[in-house]
Chain A
Amino acid sequence: MTEFGFDTLQIHAGARPDPATGARQTPIYQTTAYVFRDADHAAALFNLQEVGYIYSRLTNPTIAVLQERVATLEGGAGAVCCSSGHAAQIMALFPLMTPGDNVVVSTRLYGGSITQFSHTIKRFGWSAAFVDFDDIDAVKAAADENTKAIFCESISNPGGYLTDIPAVAAVADELGIPLIVDNTLASPYLCKPIEMGATLVVHSLTKYLTGNGTVTGGVVVDSGNFDWSASDKFPSLSQPEPAYHGLKFHETFGNLAFTFHGIAIGLRDLGMTLNPQAAHYTLMGIETLSLRMQRHVENAEKVAAWLEADPRVDYVTYAGLPSSPYAARKAALYPKGAGALFTFAVKGGYEACVKLVDSVEIFSHVANLGDTRSLIIHSASTTHRQLTLEQQEAAGAGPSVVRLSIGIENVDDLIRDLDQALATATA
């Protein structure tokens, strides 16, 4: 197989000319259902003996292009898109977990994910053990016989932290369970978790992949590398599936099993489907991913360095700064950059933070990240609001820090905006 460069794949992967019309750009297939050639064809599709289109809750030609695009960029075997990054996390866990099972997760996660893992998944009978992922022995010690996965973010929200993915993957291997990495903040341009040993990668497509703050979406990419039948831990994939007449997914579909399961069981029964319009926006975004990420990182490095040198600022957490405790990890595992999301502490604490957020003119005060526009938010009172103070501090989202998502504008304009806002906030 020819090896293509990232810049070629982000434009071409999955997107051959449309087979029906020759359209060069991927058309938006806005249809609910698809006509069967005959009864035999319909039967083969419903029995999973042929891959094709039945109904857009399951598969859709526009979304299929996006799925193949992301799977290719991540170096996976296949991918399933869904309606949001949060949906992707449930879609990733769903084939692995049964009631009574648990997942070992990093304390350094997006606040919404901490809430999803500490409260919402309990309603499925699942639970999560939160661990500091810099303590690899603790990650291992937190697992028991009912642990079915390890979960972390590559570059973690609200920034400043990079997970040592190879070290965590080694623990997952030893335990015979998959490592799931949320790669939203890095995008496959900055980090390829599968190359570092992850089994599954999830994304909020909403962020850098779409890149312009237009749509929400999620995706689960399977590496195709995990042997689901090596133990009896993953019966949904290795044992007969009653809803398909006793078919065993792993035995039947080999390294495509997880993706087939995501479509045939996950999307079919959970129904958290992406819509083709959203897939279209995300496909447009991915075409320029590498260019945007380069500029995001370049701008973030400059803004972080400027803030660090400013006397009105207490500290900056950006892992791309030479002063970061994760500088060595960045050089080894994230050489193209530490992303464009980080926090900084304003001298003057909570009050100064709130005033700063109210004083910016170019930065937008929104609960989002990974937009072309620069964004600002006070995490403790918004994205990480549902957490305890202790959880906020562990996640790096304490009350005295402000989170920046650095966009691709002119960096001097961004610095000027922060300068005037800091002047107001600390006056």
Chain B
Amino acid sequence: MTYSDTYLRQILTESKTIAAVGVSTNPIRPSYFVARYLNLKKYRVLPVNPVYVGQQLFGEAFTPAMAALPQDLKVHMVDIFRRPDQVMPVVVDAIELLLPRGLKTIWMQIGVINEEAAALARAAGLNVVMDRCPKIEHQRLFGELRKGGFNTGIISSKL
């Protein structure tokens, strides 16, 4: 799977509100890292996880499922922190509930690949990214990984 920098940059620029499905409140879990980073970068992160209902993450209340997200809210991206075999129902839900409310992208985290769910999302006109982390891609594309000595692949004479 390869995604062009332009494609990823566009997704990360257009998405303002992100439903984080399966995100944890445990501060050393990768999902928490991602949510915390996206929150620091001014994305609105809506935590979805039945385990933590009643709790909040960065000022947003957990909902048990996407169906419980406030109806008037636009959601541009669903970021999936679930095992590959549990992705399909999330994508089905996302298309049904969020497509009319601004959904543009289904994003599956590193190690999460589900071709069948990806095909369904693409057929619904959605962008699909699999086996990538939006935090790492954001850091790579918007300059932050430059600070750590990582190969960003970006060659430019522009500021």
Interface positions of A (Cβ within 8 A of B): 1-2, 4, 8-9, 12-14, 16-17, 19, 22, 24, 40-41, 44, 47-53, 59, 61, 63-68, 71-72, 76-81, 240, 244-248, 251-254, 256, 259-260, 263
Q: How large is the interface on B (under 10, 10 to 19, 20 to 34, 35 or more residues)?
A: 20 to 34
- Cβ contacts A to B, 26 pairs, < 8 Å: A14-B149, A16-B154, A16-B156, A16-B157, A16-B159, A17-B157, A17-B159, A41-B40, A44-B40, A48-B33, A49-B33, A49-B36, A50-B37, A51-B148, A59-B147, A61-B147, A63-B149, A64-B149, A65-B146, A71-B151, A78-B148, A78-B150, A80-B149, A252-B28, A256-B150, A259-B149
The complex places the Cα of A80 from the Cα of B150 at a distance, in Å, of 9
By beta carbon, the residue of chain B nearest A66 is B149
Evaluate contact between A44 and B36: CB separation under 8 angstroms: yes
Min CB–CB distance A298 → chain B (angstroms): 28
The complex places the Cα of A12 from the Cα of B144 at a distance, in Å, of 17
Evaluate contact between A254 and B133: CB separation under 8 angstroms: yes
* Contact residues in B for A67 (Cβ distance below 8 Å): 148-150
Interface of A is mostly: mixed
The complex places the Cα of A191 from the Cα of B114 at a distance, in Å, of 37
* Contact residues in A for B145 (Cβ distance below 8 Å): 51, 256
Neighbour of B148 across the interface among A41, A247, A254, A263, CB < 8 A: A263
The complex places the Cα of A52 from the Cα of B40 at a distance, in Å, of 13
* Contact residues in A for B133 (Cβ distance below 8 Å): 254
By beta carbon, the residue of chain A nearest B37 is A49
Evaluate contact between A9 and B155: CB separation under 8 angstroms: yes
Known A-B contacts A68-B149, A259-B150; A12 and B36 likewise in contact (beta carbons under 8 Å): no
Is B153 an interface residue, CB under 8 A from the partner?
A: yes
The complex places the Cα of A255 from the Cα of B145 at a distance, in Å, of 13
The complex places the Cα of A247 from the Cα of B156 at a distance, in Å, of 34
The complex places the Cα of A61 from the Cα of B144 at a distance, in Å, of 11
Min CB–CB distance A273 → chain B (angstroms): 12
Interface positions of B (Cβ within 8 A of A): 2, 4-5, 27-28, 30, 33, 36-37, 40, 110, 133, 136, 139, 143-159
* Contact residues in A for B27 (Cβ distance below 8 Å): 47, 245
The complex places the Cα of A12 from the Cα of B155 at a distance, in Å, of 6
The complex places the Cα of A67 from the Cα of B145 at a distance, in Å, of 11
Evaluate contact between B144 and A1: CB separation under 8 angstroms: no
The complex places the Cα of A297 from the Cα of B130 at a distance, in Å, of 44
Known A-B contacts A51-B145, A68-B149, A80-B149; A40 and B40 likewise in contact (beta carbons under 8 Å): yes
The complex places the Cα of A79 from the Cα of B145 at a distance, in Å, of 11
The complex places the Cα of A65 from the Cα of B146 at a distance, in Å, of 7
* Contact residues in B for A13 (Cβ distance below 8 Å): 151, 155
Interface of B is mostly: loop
Min CB–CB distance A164 → chain B (angstroms): 26
By beta carbon, the residue of chain B nearest A61 is B147
By beta carbon, the residue of chain B nearest A256 is B150
The complex places the Cα of A342 from the Cα of B59 at a distance, in Å, of 65
Counting chain A CB atoms within 10 Å of each CB, the highest count among B4, B37, B139, B155 belongs to B155
By beta carbon, the residue of chain B nearest A44 is B40
For the A-B complex with A71-B151, A77-B150 known, give 15 more contacts whose Cβ atoms are closer than 8 Å.
A1-B5, A1-B153, A17-B157, A44-B37, A52-B144, A52-B147, A59-B149, A67-B150, A68-B149, A68-B150, A71-B150, A78-B148, A252-B28, A254-B136, A256-B150
Known A-B contacts A244-B28, A245-B28; A259 and B157 likewise in contact (beta carbons under 8 Å): no
Neighbour of A240 across the interface among B5, B28, B30, B152, CB < 8 A: B28
Evaluate contact between A53 and B147: CB separation under 8 angstroms: yes
The complex places the Cα of A265 from the Cα of B18 at a distance, in Å, of 32
Evaluate contact between A12 and B157: CB separation under 8 angstroms: yes
The complex places the Cα of A79 from the Cα of B146 at a distance, in Å, of 11
* Contact residues in B for A246 (Cβ distance below 8 Å): 28
* Contact residues in A for B30 (Cβ distance below 8 Å): 251-252
The complex places the Cα of A67 from the Cα of B149 at a distance, in Å, of 5
Min CB–CB distance B57 → chain A (angstroms): 14
The complex places the Cα of A162 from the Cα of B147 at a distance, in Å, of 35
Min CB–CB distance A420 → chain B (angstroms): 47
The complex places the Cα of A49 from the Cα of B147 at a distance, in Å, of 13
Neighbour of B159 across the interface among A9, A22, A63, CB < 8 A: A22
Known A-B contacts A49-B33, A251-B30; A78 and B147 likewise in contact (beta carbons under 8 Å): no
* Contact residues in B for A68 (Cβ distance below 8 Å): 146, 149-152
The complex places the Cα of A354 from the Cα of B157 at a distance, in Å, of 52
The complex places the Cα of A41 from the Cα of B36 at a distance, in Å, of 11
